[in-house]
């Protein structure tokens, strides 16, 4: 590569960085802070990440519920032993449907839709009103080969695992936002 080509691209990158600097200053001025960031060294319990880790996920019925519960525990970090301050109750509904059918009426593609309703409550003091509640949805599909029963079973299980991971990601994001809003309201009140 010639020096001139390197110099031009470096100059373009430098100009882009310099153009972004005022915007970064504006973000800092408006109080923007990453949702998972610690407010001070050793203050992880004072952040959304600390609140997420202090959330215990209740038992969710069925095999699909077990997948979702484990995914939530990983996403929240609640399997790391932090003392529980919150309880998360989740109900899961899984719907399966055939979306492509051969002329002999056998399926070639299945769609799985997972819908999870959740409710987050404080453990102490036990609150009648939930801190957060919501509903998330994830959709996945898989092919069903002719006379490929084992492969279809594995594809279906993999689709359920992907759905559980997506639902857990969505729930964790909504909970982190709820914790951040709660902290912002508490900070304004004090």
Given a cut of 70, is residue 63 above it in pLDDT? Answer: yes
Same domain, 23 and 63: no
Write down the mean pLDDT value for the chain.
82
Report the pLDDT value the prediction gives residue 26, as an integer from 0 to 100: 60
Same domain, 46 and 133: yes
β-bridge pairing 86-101 and 107-122: antiparallel
- Of 126 and 113, the structure prediction assigns the larger pLDDT to 113
Q: Which residues contact 143 (CB under 8 A, 6 or more apart)?
A: 108, 109, 152, 155
Same domain, 115 and 174: yes
Instruction: For 46, list phi and psi in degrees, rounded to 5.
Output: -95, 5
44 falls in which pLDDT band (50, 70, 90)?
very low
Per-residue pLDDT of 123-167, as tens digits, reads 987 667 899 999 999 999 998 877 788 888 899 999 999 999 999
What is the extent of the structural domain holding 15?
Answer: 1-32
Same domain, 2 and 61: no
d(CA 72, CA 43): 23
- Which tokens belong to 9? 């691209």
Same domain, 51 and 82: yes
Same domain, 165 and 97: yes
The residue whose two tokens read 């102490």 is 124
Say how many domains are in the chain. Answer: 2
CB-based contact 125:114 (threshold 8 Å):
no
Same domain, 121 and 47: yes
65-82 average pLDDT score = 91
Same domain, 157 and 177: yes
Q: What is the CATH number of the domain that holds 151?
A: 3.30.160.150
Same domain, 159 and 100: yes
pTM of the model: 0.74
Q: Which residues contact 78 (CB under 8 A, 6 or more apart)?
A: 52, 53, 54, 55, 56, 57, 72, 84
- Which tokens belong to 135? 């509903």
Same domain, 26 and 46: no
Cis peptide bond upstream of 84, omega within 30: no
- Of 21 and 83, the structure prediction assigns the larger pLDDT to 83
d(CA 130, CA 180): 15
Same domain, 22 and 51: no
DSSP state of 183: H
Same domain, 68 and 137: yes
Element (H, E) at 121: strand 107-122
């Amino acid at each position: 590569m010639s020096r001139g080509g390197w110099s031009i691209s470096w100059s373009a990158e430098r100009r882009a960085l310099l153009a972004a600097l005022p915007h970064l200053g504006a973000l800092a001025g408006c109080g923007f802070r990453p949702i998972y960031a610690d407010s001070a060294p050793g203050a992880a319990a004072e952040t959304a990440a600390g609140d997420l880790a202090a959330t215990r996920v209740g038992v969710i019925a069925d095999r699909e519920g077990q997948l979702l519960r484990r995914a939530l525990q990983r996403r929240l970090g609640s399997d790391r032993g932090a003392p529980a301050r919150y309880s998360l109750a989740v109900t899961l509904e899984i719907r399966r449907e055939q979306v492509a059918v051969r002329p002999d009426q056998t399926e070639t593609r299945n769609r799985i839709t997972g819908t999870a309703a959740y409710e987050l409550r404080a453990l102490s003091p036990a609150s009648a009103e939930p801190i957060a509640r919501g509903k998330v949805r994830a959709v996945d599909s898989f092919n069903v080969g002719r006379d490929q029963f084992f492969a279809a079973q594995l594809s279906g299980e993999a689709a359920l695992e992907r759905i559980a991971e997506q639902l857990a990601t969505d729930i964790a994001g909504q909970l982190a936002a709820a914790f951040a809003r709660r902290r912002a309201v508490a900070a304004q009140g004090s």
